[in-house]
Amino acid sequence: MAENLRIIGDTLPGVDMNAPLLEVEDLRVEFKIRGKRVPAVRGANFSLETGRTLAIVGESGSGKSVTSQAVMGILDSPPGYITGGAVRLHGVDILKQDEDTKRGIRSNHIGMVFQDALSALNPLWSVGFQIGELFRVHRGSSRKDAKKRAGELLDLVGIPDAKNRIGHYPHQFSGGMRQRVMIAMALALEPEILIADEPTTALDVTVQAQIMRLLKEIQEERSMGLILITHDLGVVADVADDVAVMYAGQIMEQASIHDVFKRPANPYTKALLRAIPRVDTLGQELEVIRGLPPNPASLPGGCSFHPRCWAAEEKCSVEEPPWASVAEEHRSRCHFAEEVYRNER
Amino acid sequence: MGRYVIRRLLQGLLTLGIVLFLLHYLMALSVQIRGNPAILFFGGDRTPPPAMLAQVEKLYGLDNACYDRPGDPCLVPFVERLQRYASGDLGTTLNGNRDVGDLLAIYIPNTLRLFIFSTLTLVIVAMLLGTWAARHRGGFIDHTVRGTTILIDSVPVFLVLLAYVYLAAVPLTNWARDIWGADTFMGEVFSPSYDPDHPWTTIIIPGIIVGTVGLATLTRLVRASQLENLGSDFVRTAKAKGLPNMRITVVHVVRNSMIPVVTGVGYIFAFALSGAVLTEGIMNIPGMGRMIFQAVQRQEVNLVIVGLTVTAVVVVIVTLIVDLLYAALDPRIRYE
Amino acid sequence: MSELTAPKPEPDTAQSSLWKDAFRTMRRRPDVIIASLIMLFVFTMAAFPTLFTDKSPTRCIGSDARERPDTWFTGEHPLGTDQFGCDFAATLVHGTRPTITLALSVMIVAVLIGMVTGILAGYYGGVIDAIISRAVDVFIVVPLMLGAILLLSLFRGRGAPDNLFETVAPPAIALAIFGWMEFTRYTRAATIETKNLDYVTAARCLGAKDRRIMFKHILPNAIIPVTAVIPTTLGSIIVAESALAVLGIGVQPPATSWGVLLSNGTQWAAGGYIYLFGIPLLLLILTVFSFATFGDALRDALDPKLR
């Protein structure tokens, strides 16, 4: 299969294969709404290695989707603008590339799966056309060839009778099957990174597990980097390797999934964990985080979580906490990270 | 699909049947109230000998006694009329005694020509302006396009035509003839009235002017549907697929935006038929609109009914085509 | 849950805030303000013509015929005189009332017919829907202008009308008969949409009567798309009236309307008396433009997702 072989440098000049797969450094995104600048992402830092899964967890409005769209380069501007930071893919800052290179990076290097497949697929074209389009635009395949490849992909993501469903339209698939189509489309050009933005939120619980398993299988098979964006820590518990917790446009804590669940170093993470129903807390009342996430247009001073934090002290409303290490590969943004980590708070 | 078309055609036939009857009833009422139009045959002023009048009345099917009783729906002549139409006999005109079928063969193509140019103008201009405005949403261009199209739509189209005929046509024709010569396309196109020797050329300008009717509505529709699609999730997916902007616009936006446009054009088409009356009158185009207007004025019962039925048939067919196009454009729509 | 509290009926609050929001957005737009001022001016002219002119349009002096308005807006004849020597400004001002009365009455009748038939068809469905939909089809296949021409020509009255009603009634009736279907369509669509909403189903389960559901829940929703097209429709009725007048079958002289003035004006425009045509034309375009601009903004305000 010679045509499947490709050289990464073709679509991404200056690549350094020793550099981490994806590094996001101090990424900042602002929205301009009626002349006002509203920060949506305020310095996001994370990195992703080949074959690993990173879960970005946060409430709605925490900036997790905006982060992924900024990485992908599909932020709607206006109103959204990337105002600082770097996104390095194989050591190359993709924010600094020209439009054509950026276009080539999308789907050649980073694929994306969206939440609601029904609206994310064009209702007027068959799924075969929409998948095949990638081969035709990026690989110059013939119509017939593209259709054949689309069929193979549908088969790969576990759609029964794939050959005969190439000509079907998105509305003719069930919710889970549609999400599989989305995944097939994201995988088409064999990207090194897959970003899945709430891939299971719109689905039934039973189907959710199937889709998660599919994503995990494919990721392991192809040793891709997978970024899972979700508001539900429970969903990612057995899939993710690392977790980044986002709140009000900042990453509050990043660590391995094990550390996050066992020894969280941030009060916000702790609060999130207490809100998940678990076998060992059966019969107890679930805790709810009091208050609402802040309005990004008027963030509280100091630590943005302090108005809702049970551990907050005066310092928290004045001084912004540093992004500090509490252990190896475990960082947190809290004045009392050490104490929380040692479970003293 | 086939069953749907058949059902729609049957519905259309029912509609046409009702229209035919209502027209017949209206015309019968008019004869009953205003007096017998057969007198027209004799020039209108003189009182013809009763025997001859009776003969003419018989000739045109106006001899039934029901025409003397106001309010009588005249069912017998109605059935006779339908039978004649069904056998292909559309009757003759009172004024000049010409075969109505022959007249339609001349008039229908002229009106169709007018519609071809006006529909083309409308769709092309509205698509361009709507797309342009959508790209510059909220900006100066958006507001200008909106204001201009509303202004154009606010000027009654027959007044534009009058202004064109009285003020612009002659100087433009002279100017064009000086440059290109009298017998060229350019020498004919600005002509102030229809010329049967150049049936296509001399209908272009009136067609374009009639095409401005509904411009604001359609432009608005195009703009709105494009905005809706530009902000849609599937366009974001297309961007995430790394497709070039041109391809996103052509493949993923324009086709989706065509759906409301098709509906809008079908709807405006019925209005354009209204516009035909004045346009054809002003530009001297022997078409359906002018024919119906003159027939109404002369109380030509048969001609009015045939003319309006033909326009009704056209509207029924256009509506059906629009609905079928709708299904062709949107796979989610399945008629059964 | 120790006590049952009646939740505030959400649709109602949503409705009132929709109208309030619409009003607020409209108020901020300069084009809407200008359009409203022009509309106010025209309506005032229709209601109180004597505020604008102290002359009678019927007092005509033959020797003063066709005086050009050299003095513009001042002097004996601010806009000159017409072909019979009547003061043109007075003619124009007094011609406003029939035009506006006609437009408003056509609109009111059409909206009433449209809303009643639309709600009945949408709410009950079945046979009623079939009959009303067929009626809509029948009237739609006869284009407005042709239908109006037919009715007006066939039943043209012979005597000269001597009051406003007799002047306006024939064209108004003809235009209303062929102009209600659009409103039926909008109302029917909105009714069907609303009928299946959860809170209407809930109301029906609680035993609300049909009439109550129609007035309390469906009417407020159905009235939105109808309101949005009313200003634009008013404009197009004014245009249709002028077209009928030019064809000689609208408002009949000696009564005046803008259409009649335009129709007379066309005969004199080419002969150098262009003001007799130009001034009513300008007034008509300005008015229709204001209605259309206002209507466009209203549609935007009532359907914010299309803005």
Per-residue confidence at A22, pLDDT binned at 50, 70, 90? confident
| The two structure tokens encoding residue C95 | 């011609």
Single-letter residue type at B315: V
pTM above 0.90, yes or no: no
pLDDT surpasses 80 at C235: yes
DSSP code per residue over A244-257: EEEETTEEEEEEEH
**What percentage of chain A carries pLDDT values higher than 70?**
93
Least confident of B2-16, B148-162, B174-188, B218-232: B174-188
Q: Is residue C162 part of a domain?
A: yes
E strand or H helix that includes residue A323: strand A323-327
> Could you report the per-residue pLDDT of B186-222, keeping only the tens digit for each?
878 888 788 888 888 888 888 888 888 888 888 988 8
Percent helix / strand / coil, chain C, rounded to 5: 75, 0, 25
Alpha carbon B46 to its chain centroid, in Å, reads 38
> Could you report the per-residue pLDDT of A175-223, keeping only the tens digit for each?
888 888 988 888 888 888 889 888 887 778 888 888 888 888 888 888 8
pLDDT of the residue at C113:
94
Cβ count near A224 (within 10 Å): 24
C chain contacts of residue B158, beta-carbon cutoff 8 Å:
243, 246
DSSP code per residue over A22-69: EEEEEEEEEEEETTEEEEEEEEEEEEE-TT-EEEEE--TTSSHHHHHH
Give me the sign of the Cα torsion angle A61, A65, A71, A73.
negative
Smallest CA–CA distance from B258 into chain A, residue: A124
pLDDT of the residue at C6:
38
Domain encompassing residue C239: 25-50+80-306
| The two structure tokens encoding residue B49 | 């000998």
pLDDT surpasses 60 at A284: yes
| Residue among B247, B222, B132, B123 nearest A122 (CA) | B247
DSSP code per residue over C242-277: HHHHHHT-SSPTTS--HHHHHHHHHHHHTTT-THHH
C53 interface with B at CB cutoff 8 Å: no
The helix/strand count (H/E) of chain C reads as: 12, 0
Count CB pairs under 8 A between chains B and C: 114
Q: Which domains does chain A have, with CATH numbers?
A: 1-10+51-75+107-247 (3.40.50.300), 261-280+292-345 (no CATH)
pLDDT of the residue at A7:
66
Tell me the angle at which helices C219-247 and C144-154 cross, rounded to the nearest 10 degrees: 60
Smallest CA–CA distance from B16 into chain C, residue: C138
B chain contacts of residue C142, beta-carbon cutoff 8 Å:
19, 308, 311-312
Per-residue confidence at C64, pLDDT binned at 50, 70, 90? low
Cα separation, B128 vs C43, whole angstroms: 36
For residue C203, give the 3-state DSSP assignment: helix
Cα separation, A187 vs A178, whole angstroms: 14
Mean of pLDDT values over A73-88: 81
| The two structure tokens encoding residue B18 | 């009702």
Write the CB contacts of A153 (distance below 8 Å, at least 6 apart in sequence): A131, A184, A185, A187, A188
Burial code (b: 16+ CB inside 10 Å, e: under 16) for B175-191 equals ebbeeeeeeeebbbbbb
Does residue C218 contact residue C194 with C-beta atoms inside 8 Å? yes
**What percentage of chain C carries pLDDT values higher than 90?**
15
pLDDT surpasses 60 at A1: no
Q: Is residue C123 part of a domain?
A: yes
The dihedral formed by the CA atoms of A105, A111, A117 and A121, expressed in degrees to the nearest 10: 30
Smallest CA–CA distance from B313 into chain C, residue: C141
Please tell me the number of Cα atoms within 13 Å of A116 on its side-chain side: 8
pLDDT surpasses 90 at A14: no
| Mean pLDDT of chain A, nearest integer | 82
Q: With CB atoms and an 8 Å threshold, state whether A107 touches B240.
A: yes
A chain contacts of residue B242, beta-carbon cutoff 8 Å:
103-108, 134, 137-138
pLDDT surpasses 60 at C168: yes
Chains sharing 3 or more CB pairs under 8 A with chain B = A, C
Counted domains in chain C: 1
Alpha carbon A264 to its chain centroid, in Å, reads 21
pLDDT of the residue at A49:
86
Tell me the angle at which helices B301-329 and B2-34 cross, rounded to the nearest 10 degrees: 160
Cα separation, C279 vs C275, whole angstroms: 5
pLDDT of the residue at C159:
55
B264/A170: higher pLDDT: A170
In order of B178, B274, B277, C239, C257, the CA distances from C243 in angstroms are 36, 10, 10, 6, 12
Write the CB contacts of B295 (distance below 8 Å, at least 6 apart in sequence): B93, B303, B304, B307
| The two structure tokens encoding residue B88 | 């292909």
Single-letter residue type at C242: S
Cα separation, A240 vs B120, whole angstroms: 57
**What percentage of chain B carries pLDDT values higher than 70?**
94
| Residue among C241, C306, C4 nearest C106 (CA) | C241
| Option in B237, B241, B256 nearest A124 (CB) | B256
E strand or H helix that includes residue C286: helix C275-302
Cα separation, C12 vs A99, whole angstroms: 49
What are the φ/ψ torsions at residue A168 (nearest 5 degrees)? -80, 160
pLDDT of the residue at C291:
92
> Could you report the per-residue pLDDT of B68-125, keeping only the tens digit for each?
777 777 888 888 888 888 888 877 777 777 888 888 898 989 888 888 899 899 989 9
C70/A26: higher pLDDT: A26
A312/B180: higher pLDDT: B180
pLDDT of the residue at C37:
92
The domain ranges of chain B are 2-86, 100-329
pLDDT surpasses 70 at A89: yes
State the smallest CA–CA distance between residue A106 and chain B in angstroms: 5
pLDDT of the residue at C104:
93
Cα separation, C122 vs C132, whole angstroms: 10
In order of B119, C139, C290, the CA distances from B270 in angstroms are 12, 11, 25
Least confident of A123-127, A285-289, C36-40, C279-283: A285-289
Judged by 3 or more CB pairs under 8 A, whether C touches A is no
Cα separation, B140 vs B146, whole angstroms: 10
Mean of pLDDT values over C104-122: 93
Least confident of B250-254, B263-267, C235-239: B263-267
Cα separation, C290 vs C100, whole angstroms: 14
Cα separation, B159 vs C24, whole angstroms: 36
Q: Are strands A242-247 and A225-230 parallel, antiparallel or unpaired?
A: unpaired
Cβ count near C209 (within 10 Å): 11
Match domain B100-329 to its CATH number in 1.10.3720.10, 2.40.30.10, 1.10.287.110, 2.60.120.10.
1.10.3720.10
Mutation target for A interface from B228, B230, B239, B332: give the one with most A CBs within 10 A.
Answer: B239
**CATH code assigned at C211:** 1.10.3720.10
Cα separation, A199 vs A235, whole angstroms: 11
Write the CB contacts of A248 (distance below 8 Å, at least 6 apart in sequence): A42, A62, A63, A293, A294, A296, A299, A304, A305
pLDDT of the residue at C3:
35
Least confident of A15-19, B31-35, B39-43: B39-43
Per-residue confidence at C76, pLDDT binned at 50, 70, 90? low
| Option in C141, C144, C289 nearest B312 (CB) | C141
pLDDT of the residue at B245:
84
pLDDT surpasses 70 at C43: yes
> Could you report the per-residue pLDDT of B219-252, keeping only the tens digit for each?
988 888 888 888 888 988 898 888 888 888 888 8
Alpha carbon A215 to its chain centroid, in Å, reads 13
Give me the sign of the Cα torsion angle B163, B164, B166, B171.
positive
ipTM surpasses cut 0.85: no
pLDDT surpasses 70 at C14: no
Chains sharing 3 or more CB pairs under 8 A with chain C = B
Q: With CB atoms and an 8 Å threshold, state whether A120 touches B239.
A: no
Alpha carbon A248 to its chain centroid, in Å, reads 16
State the smallest CA–CA distance between residue C242 and chain B in angstroms: 8
Cα separation, C306 vs C228, whole angstroms: 13
pLDDT surpasses 60 at B45: no
Q: What is the 3-state secondary structure (H, E, C) of chain B?
A: CHHHHHHHHHHHHHHHHHHHHHHHHHHHHHHHHHCCHHHHHHCCCCCCCHHHHHHHHHHCCCCCHHHHCCCCCCHHHHHHHHHHHHCCCCCECCCCCCEHHHHHHHHHHHHHHHHHHHHHHHHHHHHHHHHHHHHCCCCHHHHHHHHHHHHHHHCCHHHHHHHHHHHHHHHHHHHHHHHHCCCCHHHHHCCCCCCCCCCCHHHHHHHHHHCCCCHHHHHHHHHHHHHHHHCCHHHHHHHHCCCCHHHHHHHHHHHHHHHHHHHHHHHHHHHHHHHHHHHHHHHCCCCHHHHHHHHHHCCCHHHHHHHHHHHHHHHHHHHHHHHHHHHHHCCCCCCC
Cα separation, A262 vs A245, whole angstroms: 15
